[in-house]
Amino acid sequence: MRAIGGLWRWRHNPLRRGTDLAEAWLALLALVLIAVVAPLTGALAGAAAEHALQQSVRDQHRARHEVVATVVRKLSRAPLEPDPEASSAQDPHSRVLADWTAPDGSAHHAGVITVLRSPHRGDHFTLWTDRHGRPVGRPLDPAAATTHAVLAGVGAALMAVALLEAARRLIVWRMVLGRYARWDQAWDRAGPDWGRTGTGS
């Protein structure tokens, strides 16, 4: 809005310099580009991220399988949770020795992390594994993938705004430097005669 106001104010002003009008037009152009390019960039980046993430979700759901494991005994305190999306502040985690059968039919016996509050021998819980029965993280949720894609789009739009504004400021800075250089040249020409009686006569 300041750019439009600047253009209107400088239209017929006798003190208007060419650079003043150029700065106002540049600000207006930057505003239009921000209004058009930033949302378009965000939408394209978000769509690309959504496509890639949803493909990853599909791949993970094909490669990872939920199996039922049986507690053999409780082990010592659980280490840090390797899958942050599988944990929350409300879910206690216990490390147990468990048995399970992999999707390929092989039997497994190993220490794993469970969300059971107080696991006892014979308790059942679900576990994500690959097709060979090796424990893996829970696959990415489609809703979480969409959230990440939206954040990527917003980030891309903000980056576009930042780049356009940085380009505008750089151009204005160069214009100001040029203006100062012209002032210095004009002052150098007028300087030797400044204040002398009869100067210019």
pLDDT digits 0-9 by tens, 169-182: 999 888 888 878 87
Summarised one tens digit per residue, pLDDT across range 52-76 is 999 999 999 999 999 999 998 888 7
Q: Give 16 or 96, the one with higher predicted confidence.
A: 96
Tokens matching residue 114: 């469970």
Quick one: pLDDT at residue 88?
43
Percent composition of the chain: helix, strand, coil (DSSP 3-state, to 5): 55, 15, 30
Please count the helices (runs of H) and the strands (runs of E) in the chain. Answer: 3, 4
Q: Mean pLDDT over residues 99-121, rounded?
A: 87
| pLDDT > 70? residue 102 | yes
Q: Give the pLDDT score at 93.
A: 73
Residues in the chain: 201
User: What mean pLDDT, rounded, does the chain reach?
Assistant: 81
Greater model confidence, 172 or 79: 172
pLDDT score for 86:
47
* Cα–Cα distance, 37 to 45 (Å, whole number): 12
13-32 average pLDDT score: 75
Q: Find the mean pLDDT for residues 37-47.
A: 95
User: Residue 14 has what pLDDT?
Assistant: 58
pTM: 0.62
Contact yes or no for 189/74 (Cβ under 8 A): no
Q: What is the mean pLDDT of residues 117-129?
A: 88
Dist. CA 116–CA 129, nearest whole Å:
18
User: Which pLDDT score is estimated for 92?
Assistant: 58
Give me the amino acid identity at 191.
Answer: G
